[in-house]
Structure 1
Amino acid sequence: MSGIAFRASATPVAQAALAELTARHGQTALGHARVVVALGGDGFMLQTLHDTQSAGLPVYGMNCGTVGFLMNAYEPKGLADRLAAAEETVINPLHMRATTVGGRVVEALAINEVSMLRAGPQAAKLAIYVDGRLRLEELVCDGALLCTPAGSTAYNYSAHGPILPIGSDVLALTAVAAFRPRRWRGALLPKTAVVRFEVIHPDKRPVMADADGRSVRDVVSVEIRSEPEICHRILFDPGHGLEERLLVEQFA
């Protein structure tokens, strides 16, 4: 099968896979490709989705990393048949608009989650607004995050947030090590919700915001919403798509 644009992480395993697969299938420039094949782990898959966003091409990941939740198993043989049979999942990223203490505004997209994390020795204090309405006056915590269904098994899950079915059209708002309110575990919000975090005492209790690895320090407010105008197309082998993987995680 021609028309494949291969992308690989810098690890020796991924580079060896790149050499083997391009020897078999060649390398097509992104502007002329029909599909992107990403070789690496989940972090590299996210990077590839961001980097190739404007091309609008489906991305098929092959795991050359560790967990590989967003990836398919690595097997150099039969790639053309696997691509032809692959099932497509479409996901929308989150849009983050962060404002810093100095007034700088930073915008970024996140496929997994946008997180707020304390950046000093003291716990963060956050006020949480949903669609312009104050919902939690003060959350004392190590942080909080808003995640998509695709990202619900990542940082969200390790923070004891819920796993979201891929077609659920909801977002998970999850606290990270909440101290007050001690029993608050987060909320499920409609995909259309606009969430705003405001940092209380940002000079004394500094907070950083992070969108899929793009970090902004010393924020005073962060607004997050789903971005329906952008669609990421991810390919999976039949029977091993995101919906099935999310179900498997809940019974592991």
Structure 2
Amino acid sequence: MGMRNNVLGLVVHPRNDVSESVGTLVELARDHGVRVVAKPSDAVRLEGVEPMDEAEMAERADVVFSLGGDGTMLGAMRLVAGRPTPVLGVNHGNIGFLIEVSPEGLPAALDRLMADDFCLEPHSCLELTGHDSPARAFNDVVLTASRPWTAVSLDLEINGVRHGYFRSDAVVVCTPTGSTAYNYAAGGPIISPSAPLIGLTPVAPMSGITRPIVLGGEETILLRAPEYETRLSLDGAETFTVPAGADMVLRMRPHAVNVVRFDKDIHGTRSRVKLSLLDLPLRPDQLVELVPEHLRDRARLPRL
């Protein structure tokens, strides 16, 4: 791949040991005259990595590596949202729907990256406006009451037309990528990644809208809490409070970030396996189909 600035950016898990992957990247960078950078609080604990302010790294990095789980990957995606900078995930976390390679597979992945043997998978995000500054979420925006033990009450408008209200413990607004996270746990639908749709799911609804809603990606959603402040969480990471009566406007932004993929079929199979852990109703013979071919004989179950 072309390196305009000769800079590799790192976004790393705050606690997990990522030294193996960092060593691999630093060695490659040294051989090619490339700098490896991370935000100062991360760089201080990573050997061979230079400190760089996050805003500058987002602007200058030719590619960003996420070393962690899905939470770290989402942070990397938010960092470069709206830019062409590709993001490659290396799994140093637990289950990862977005992660592409393991630490052991990173050297081979870097060879393919340098040889332009990869593709870019675009991801949409939710853009939130109506408060101090625009914010983005690639999984979900979760709205709760700022006061503890209080239900959130939100008026809903779609494209300027009122559509009732939510009164529930929380309201989850999700992208297709985020539909398998909190949205799914709250009883919302799984949305295909190929469908430009937005999900709205009330959590433990008490009155008003009690069922999930699926909207087109071109719709404009306005939520307003008439009585109390609302606490918002973006991808389970960034949180802030919006005053009572303020408009919270959500729109889908297509192609907000590019994720590096080497084999879409393998990634799709891996996602199906992980989704099966979320209670998808698969028969034993269907589960066997998700096992790599060289292991299938060992995994087959006898017929009853």
TM band (smaller chain): 0.7 to 0.9
Cα displacement (A) at 1:211: 2.5
Cα displacement (A) at 1:199: 0.9
Gaps of 5+ in 2: 37-56, 283-304
| Structure number, greater radius of gyration | 2
Would you say the 8 A contact 1:87–1:237 is kept in 2? Answer: yes
Q: Which residue in the other structure is 1:217 paired with?
A: 241
Please state if 1:207 is matched with 2:230: yes
Would you say the 8 A contact 1:146–1:174 is kept in 2? Answer: yes
1:115-194 superposed matches below 5 A: 115-120=142-147, 121-136=149-164, 138-181=165-208, 184-194=210-220
> Quick one: which of 13, 17, 26 aligns to 1:13?
17
CA distance in 1, matches of 2:171, 2:269: 25
Cα displacement (A) at 1:86: 3.2
Aligned residues: 241
1:38-53 superposed matches below 5 A: 38-53=66-81
Q: Deviations over 1:94-114 (max 9, x none)?
A: 111244xxxxx3421111112
Cα displacement (A) at 1:210: 2.2
CA distance in 2, matches of 1:247, 1:170: 23
Cα displacement (A) at 1:179: 1.6
Pairwise CA RMSD of aligned residues? 2.8
Q: Which residue in the other structure is 2:224 paired with?
A: 198
Cα displacement (A) at 1:226: 1.2
Please state if 1:94 is matched with 2:126: yes
CA distance in 1, matches of 2:185, 2:221: 21
Please state if 1:61 is matched with 2:89: yes
Please state if 1:79 is matched with 2:83: no
Give the fraction of aligned pairs with identical amino acids, expressed as a percent: 23
Give the structure with the higher percent helix.
2
> Quick one: which of 98, 106, 111 aligns to 1:70?
98
CA distance in 1, matches of 2:272, 2:146: 31
TM-score when scaled to structure 2?
A: 0.70
CA distance in 1, matches of 2:196, 2:262: 23
Which 10-residue stretch deviates more, 63-72 or 13-22?
A: 13-22
Q: State the one-letter code of the partner of 1:37.
A: F
Task: Identify which of structures 1 and 2 has the higher relative contact order when contacts are C-alpha pairs closer than 8 Å and 6+ apart.
Answer: 1
CA distance in 2, matches of 1:89, 1:242: 12
TM-score when scaled to structure 1?
A: 0.82
Say if 1:187 and 1:80 are closer, same or farther in 2 by CA, change over 3 A: same
Cα displacement (A) at 1:39: 1.2
Gaps of 5+ in 1: 100-104
Say if 1:227 and 1:18 are closer, same or farther in 2 by CA, change over 3 A: same
CA distance in 2, matches of 1:152, 1:195: 17
Would you say the 8 A contact 1:165–1:243 is kept in 2? Answer: no
Q: Which residue in the other structure is 1:114 paired with?
A: 141
Say if 1:97 and 1:247 are closer, same or farther in 2 by CA, change over 3 A: farther
Cα displacement (A) at 1:187: 0.7
CA distance in 2, matches of 1:178, 1:223: 22
Would you say the 8 A contact 1:196–1:224 is kept in 2? Answer: yes
CA distance in 2, matches of 1:195, 1:33: 33
Cα displacement (A) at 1:243: 8.8
Which 10-residue stretch deviates more, 232-241 or 184-193?
A: 232-241
